A and B are shown apart, each in its own frame.
Chain A
């Protein structure tokens, strides 16, 4: 069966103005137990790549600059 791309709203938001991933920080990506965050090759900032979040919050708690906000995934909000 061929594959399609379906869009989905992801719960984690990164404030690019605050994120210092371009200075070598990878904290949120490191701590996420579901491994759903990445550093964008385009912007050099962190973002949520996969909609597979446990809304558990280590990414937000450990971010040194307060750039991450975890929202409740829409389906269970």
Chain B
């Protein structure tokens, strides 16, 4: 079992989608629907049936722009403010305009959204600005419903293939990808006219406080290959210094879901049982307040439901324990914790990259195009900020529809065969050693260093030390890592991505010499926000000499203007008057 076999196959397709979690299935489906004659391949490291962040469903849409409850313009404004102005609005607006149609389509697929007794979407108001929360209390079958659609559309699904590198051609255009079977170590070379990446967040970057490598907030299969592959293919990555850090249930390390509890009257409280969060939107600012409360004498922080009716608290409990992270219930049960009786201790997550929750992603425009021709990205790994699940679906759809048209106009890009041979050699190198360091130890070390040095508040000297330590680990990874079977080979490739992401996190953070996005990019040496010099994107990419480098890129002029007092209102933690 799991022994490494030699083997290499090659296939061709019009559109290759890498990552079959949330954005990926939608991209593949939309591409195939638009051109049923085209060959669309969906490549997935795990199994599309239950892969990705939404493996067991989600308890709600956080950012549904539904007519009658909010408008695309209003949403665009709020995201712009919540992301401290660093937003190319075209992509956000396009999402907001398209997402309602996607909700209706998902509904037809059999994905269950909460409806009132008259069958209308039961949208919940969370704060004054707009109303964006649509619960999905029975949403645990999301992936099954998606899988069913993919099979009906006869999309070619390659499960248990892990992509390791993209292939680009001589002109710089995308030519395909190399993948490895996680159960046999066999290689698959996919020649493709276009490639859509949807490999999720870089969720295995920081180490959870439990020390358990796989006890991450994100699905740990999302180990950052998307970011690493984009980087090595020459694509630009945006605002990686805007880390993802989420509130969660301590030790369990899964979401506490104040979003679910909010409409019922639950909230995040300090040890006194009182609210302390001023900020209206899930953002770095909010996490900053969370962090400060944790550190202060008022901490720790709790999810509070014990002031509610027992029935209400139990109803929330029931939702939280059946969808999304259903083992939450088991965790509390073992400790004898009941939501109706005690407040639930919360904490903050390890760091990661994720545009779904923050803004760190491969740079894309409003058509999901990266800076590499023919290469697209959607979902948590693409740079459209605060996008969450519905953003992954919607932008996946946009990517699929654009890519299939692009594929119709181009031929396969020629590439250098030695690139494939070199990649095979890189992947297999650890299998050729008799002894050395196993991937799990290298991974533990990298992620421990990430916690020690990269976790905000960000200190320049600590970041420089981190870079030196990462370089040492890289030596070990390249020269001493040893792998005994194909499963471990997958972990070895993952740790290489994790290390690449750690380096990117350090490099991007050091470049932006200001503080922004609250806790996400809080630099103690540059504590102030500096709009004069830094109201811009930071794009990281591989330089001509092979080194890692950053550049500034101007934010596109706003399509939905925001007046000064609206911005002001947000920073002073007050609500705008015109909501």
A residues adjacent to B (C-beta < 8 A): 1-3, 30-35, 38, 41, 49-50, 52-58, 61-62, 70-73, 75-77
Contact = CB atoms under 8 A, between A and B. Distances in A.
Interface string B312-352: 00000000000001110011001000000000000000000
Interface residues of B, number: 44
B490 interface: yes
Contact of B326 (A2, A34, A38, A57): A57
B527 to A, nearest CB: 34
A73 B435 contact: no
Interface in B257-278: none
Contact of A54 (B2, B219, B251): B219
A35 B496 CA distance: 19
Given A1-B437, A35-B160, A54 B214 contact: yes
Nearest to B254: A55
Contacts, number: 98
A48 to B, nearest CB: 12
A7 B107 CA distance: 46
Nearest to B21: A33
Interface in B479-499: 480, 482, 487, 490-491
B215 interface: yes
27 contacts: A1-B480, A3-B438, A31-B49, A31-B50, A32-B47, A33-B55, A35-B490, A52-B213, A52-B214, A52-B220, A53-B214, A55-B215, A55-B327, A55-B330, A56-B56, A56-B327, A57-B56, A58-B56, A61-B326, A62-B50, A71-B330, A75-B210, A76-B212, A76-B215, A76-B252, A76-B331, A77-B331
Given A32-B46, A33-B47, A55-B330, 17 more contacts: A1-B480, A30-B159, A35-B182, A35-B487, A49-B487, A50-B487, A54-B215, A56-B56, A57-B326, A58-B55, A61-B326, A70-B327, A72-B334, A73-B210, A73-B212, A75-B211, A76-B251
Contacts of B159: 30
A55 B183 CA distance: 21
A-B pairs with the 3 shortest C-beta distances? A76-B210, A58-B50, A31-B50
B469 to A, nearest CB: 19
Contacts of B331: 72, 76-77
B49 A30 contact: yes
Contacts of B215: 54-55, 73, 75-76
Contacts of B213: 52
B436 to A, nearest CB: 6
A25 to B, nearest CB: 14
B536 to A, nearest CB: 37
Given A34-B221, A35-B46, A75 B437 contact: no
A37 B55 CA distance: 16
A30 B47 contact: yes
A77 to B, nearest CB: 6
B532 interface: no
B253 interface: yes
Given A53-B214, A61-B56, A72 B327 contact: yes
B216 interface: yes
A62 B49 CA distance: 10
B46 A56 contact: no
Nearest to A11: B327
Interface in B421-474: 435-438
Contact of B208 (A50, A61, A76): A76
Contacts of A34: 46, 214, 220-221
Nearest to B491: A52
